[in-house]
Homo-oligomer: A and B are copies of this chain.
Amino acid sequence: MYCQSSLVRIFEPATILVLPVTINKIFANFDNYLPLNEQEREALASRVIERTIRRRQFILQEGDICKHYTFVAEGCFKIYHVDKKGVEHNLQFVAENDWIMELDSFYADKPSRVYIEAIEPSVILQIKKEDLFYLFTNIPKFDRNFRVIVENRYVELENRILQAISSTAEERYLSFLDHYPQLSQRLPGTQIASYLGITPEFLSKIRKDISKKH
């Protein structure tokens, strides 16, 4: 496989590909779906931009139009909405080896209603819309893989809705701990409260109540 791609490169116009090490994380991620062969990996790698993001830096703000599909190689982001009263509500956390997409804005060219902000120093890989469309059109496997990525995300969201409408705040918190054990260590309680749809004060009470039970 390696040989084949080397040969191809010889006959192609000299495109110098500096493959960032982090790109391997994307390949490993695709291995969970339909693994990419060497040629497909190059097609992807040559269309990916690596960026280093500081803590509290935004990669999307309300009103912006989302131009990229983003893979988180390192770090963690929050996707949140600010309501009329100015209160932040966390929709999702996205940590390393997962995808960030603001689909509504990305596909419909609509101004985003959410912010996407780094909670930790992060490294991301971004694909521009036209590059993604190129991959969709020319390599059907990408169409397939990105369908599956969205499907998996859909299942997660469905579970979250279920929790939101049928569980108490304490149950939701316990389920959060269960589902995101790493994140619960890394995130401040204020962020978790915003994700659970409760106040930090009430989260504090829940934590006390839980610790009393032991």
| A contact set with B: CB distance below 8 Å | 81, 83, 87, 89, 91, 103-104, 107, 136, 140, 143-144, 146-147, 150-151, 153-155, 157-158, 160-162, 164-166, 195-197
Q: Write 16 A-B pairs (CB below 8 A) sorted by A numbering.
A: A81-B162, A87-B166, A89-B162, A89-B165, A91-B158, A91-B161, A103-B158, A107-B151, A140-B140, A140-B143, A143-B144, A150-B154, A157-B158, A161-B161, A164-B165, A165-B196
**In the complex, how many angstroms separate the beta carbon of A196 from the nearest chain B beta carbon?**
8
What is the CA–CA distance of A164 and B89 in the complex, to the nearest angstrom?
10
- Given known A136-B144, A158-B91, contact A164–B197 (CB-CB < 8 A): yes
Nearest chain B residue, comparing its CB with the CB of A143? B143
Complex-state Cα separation, A143 to B89, whole angstroms: 34
How distant is A162 from chain B, measured CB to nearest CB, in Å?
6
Q: Is the interface of A mostly helix, strand, loop or mixed?
A: helix
Most-contacted residue by chain B among A104, A158, A161, A162 (CB, 10 A) = A158
Q: From residue A107, how far is it (CB to closest CB) to chain B in Å? A: 7
Q: Please indicate the chain B residues that have their CB under 8 angstroms from the CB of A81 in the complex.
A: 162, 166
| Copies of this subunit | 2
Closest B residue to A104 by beta carbon equals B155
A143 surroundings in chain B (CB, below 8 A)? 140, 143-144, 147
Residue of B whose beta carbon sits closest to that of A108: B155
A140 to B144: give the CA distance in the assembly, Å: 9
A195, B162: Cα distance in complex, Å: 10
Contacting pair A154 B155 (CB below 8 A): no
The distance from the CB of A191 to the nearest CB of chain B, in whole angstroms, is: 13
CB-CB nearest in chain B for A160: B161
Residues of B within 8 A of A154 (CB): 103, 150, 153-154, 157
Query: Whole-angstrom distance between the alpha carbons of A136 and B151 in the complex?
Result: 15
Complex interface: chain B residues within 8 A of A161 (CB): 91, 157, 160-161, 164
A18 to B38, CA, bound (A): 46
